[in-house]
Amino acid sequence: MSDTRIDRRVVITGLGVVSPLGNTPEVLWKNLLEGQCGIDAIQAFDVSAYDCQIAGEVLDLDPTPAFPTPKEIRRTDRYAQFGIYAAHQALLDSGLDLNQANLEEVGAFIGSGIGGLSTLEKQHSILESKGPARVSPFLIPMQILNMASGLFSMYYGLKGPNVATCSACATATHALGEAWRTLKMGDAKVMFAGGAEAAVTPVGIGGFSAMKAMSTRNSEPKRASRPFDADRAGFVMGEGAAVLVLEELEHAKQRGAKILAELVGYGNTADAHHMTSPSPDGEGAARCMKMALRSAGMNPEAISYINAHGTSTPQGDICETSAIKTVFGDHAKKLCVSSTKGATGHMLGAAGAIEMTVCTLALRDQKVPPTINYETPDPECDLDYVPNQARDIPVQAIMNNSFGFGGHNACVVAKKFVG
């Protein structure tokens, strides 16, 4: 590989998804456009004692095609199974032939906000009941949050850059942005980037419930997550994964790849404000969006659609709305801004990659998905949130926002590819 650093163009050539609304990008996209919701009563464990009893769960996924043997699946936590399956799917979608590729130039940045929580819970129970001698030797490699990225590289022989980002709900968007930078700098030709999460577990639900962060609208799970609506009362957890294939443009052209979109900008800032609450008026988020636009070389007016972080929390949705108005000025009222978390739940460390998949398909099909469950306008959330019905609009460029606990902010900008 040449050591020369030049500013390369980066395109999206493959998509892979595991989600509460479908386990392929096309099924997810169809269900989103139809206004479907993947949230329901939790089936994974008994929730009768929990304040929050609902989530967006992944159902009926067989990860076998992505793994070398069934034994490897048993040695892999659920979150990593999701991530590896989504990456395998993205590989197939991209048409990339790894037998023909220089594997030193192919890498993976697949992060997780929480990692192998289910494994940790189960093995802690064994420790308490049966003693340390019975703890699995696979506890640590199953629990640590780099294993989706690490195992995918091992199974598929990828020897390029490999990092697992962890920045709470901004994890996957940071993975995309850092992979974009890696490609622009010439340190790889192809990157698999995204996030995976499987925190619908007793400790996961119990912990977020204790924070009073989650909706308790248990009797109406399909209506519980309602971003930007005046009656929102907390987020609903989702699980799953998404991985995108990012590729240096000339490499993609040389192999005749289908090009879905071009990734052109990335912002990464910190609120430096509070452990869980966003900075007042969304100041940190606004700086992040401005950074993403600046790195893309775009004016705010160039953006057609924003996939908002929009978690359905009372304060978070107000802060994001304020930040969008700060950055986009008069154009904010002309933008389509929607949150797909009403349909999928909040997939934590996987959210940004699921939503970037949605943005990529919006650019491809010139449609934007709705914010479902938007019924009562909030005077402090006064933008066009594409309520309840998908919309056909000219989509030239998009922004994808992700903001996480710890004050982590990440934004990426993509546009229709023009050769």
pLDDT digits 0-9 by tens, 294-327: 999 999 999 999 999 999 999 999 999 999 999 9
CA-based radius of gyration for the chain = 20
Q: Give CA–CA dist 358/339, Å, rounded.
A: 10
pLDDT reading at 1 higher than 80: no
pTM for the full predicted model: 0.96
Q: Which are the catalytic amino acids? A: 169, 309, 346
CATH of domain 266-415: 3.40.47.10
Place of tokens 């005046």: 230
Class of domain 11-254: alpha beta
Q: What is the mean pLDDT of residues 208-214?
A: 92
pLDDT at res. 2 = 43
Q: Helix (H) and strand (E) counts for the chain?
A: 13, 14
pLDDT reading at 4 higher than 90: no
| Average pLDDT value over all residues in the chain | 95
The ranges of the chain annotated as CATH 3.40.47.10 are 11-254, 266-415
3 — pLDDT class (breaks 50, 70, 90): very low
Give the distance from CA 300 to its chain's centroid: 23
pLDDT in tens, 352-401: 999 999 999 999 999 999 999 999 999 999 999 999 999 999 999 999 99
Q: What is the mean pLDDT of residues 201-207?
A: 96
Go through the chain and tell me how many residues it has. Answer: 419
Place of tokens 């971003």: 227
Say which DSSP state 350 is in: G
Helices (H), 1-94: 25-33, 70-74, 78-94
